[in-house]
A and B are shown apart, each in its own frame.
Chain A
């Protein structure tokens, strides 16, 4: 069965360190998205991609970057982790068709200390 997986599921890192969160999907979806979820804010879009070599900034992109070298993966990098980036991160993918249902990964809980 197709799926979308995130790793690690939990991570604790120190302020200033570079951190990369992995997202891998086997749906063969062109669209991939990264969200962060914080209490009181819902899901906020960080970065997204419509295909290989395509990346775009979302509403809360400062301090984050992504790259899309193949269809399956969209890793999210925190260039210099800050305590404000402590959050739960969700990756999602969707097809480029009328039914744009998004499939979410299990999430990564990141704590920056």
Chain B
């Protein structure tokens, strides 16, 4: 079945440093979504990428979707303590009818 690999599993940074998490799918995706889960919380939708090579920005967060629509990345510039949490990518395969396959997530901790 479809697999979505996400690295790194953990990332610890000093406040102000940048952070990147990478996601790779074994199959071509119709779209990829990113979610953030704060410690003790539930996943919250951040963004959806649909087009090949798409780049979207949300303030300090930059999301990219690869040309082949099999990989994606989330980059945070100048991390803040409010960025702490686990970031998940979730891919929707063509024909999977809204069913998402989640990566295992990257836990980001930020040292103030």
| A residues lining the B interface (CB < 8 Å) | 31, 33, 35, 40-45, 48, 50, 59, 90, 92, 94, 96, 98-107
Task: Assess the B33–A48 pair: CB atoms within 8 A.
Answer: no
Task: Assess the A104–B42 pair: CB atoms within 8 A.
Answer: yes
- Nearest to A40 among chain B residues (CB) is B104
Task: Assess the A100–B92 pair: CB atoms within 8 A.
Answer: yes
List 9 A-B pairs, minimum CB-CB distance, nearest first: A42-B104, A43-B102, A104-B42, A101-B45, A104-B43, A100-B98, A31-B98, A42-B102, A42-B105
Task: Assess the B45–A103 pair: CB atoms within 8 A.
Answer: yes
21 residue pairs A–B, Cβ–Cβ below 8 Å: A33-B99, A33-B100, A35-B102, A42-B102, A42-B104, A43-B43, A43-B88, A43-B102, A45-B99, A45-B101, A48-B99, A90-B43, A98-B50, A100-B31, A102-B33, A102-B35, A102-B45, A102-B90, A104-B42, A105-B42, A106-B42
Number of A-B contacts (CB under 8 A): 54
Interface residues on B, range: 20 to 34
Query: Across the interface, which residues of B come within 8 angstroms of A50, CB to CB?
Result: 97-98
Q: Binding site of B, secondary structure by majority: helix, strand, loop or mixed?
A: strand
Query: Across the interface, which residues of B come within 8 angstroms of A43, CB to CB?
Result: 43, 88, 90, 102
Is B103 at the interface (CB under 8 A from chain A)? yes
CA distance A45 to B99 in the complex (A): 9
Is B48 at the interface (CB under 8 A from chain A)? yes
CA distance A102 to B102 in the complex (A): 12
CA distance A40 to B106 in the complex (A): 10
Given contacts A33-B100, A42-B105, A101-B45, 18 further A-B contacts (CB under 8 A): A31-B98, A40-B104, A42-B6, A42-B88, A42-B103, A43-B90, A44-B102, A45-B101, A59-B1, A98-B50, A100-B100, A102-B33, A102-B43, A102-B45, A104-B43, A104-B44, A106-B42, A107-B42
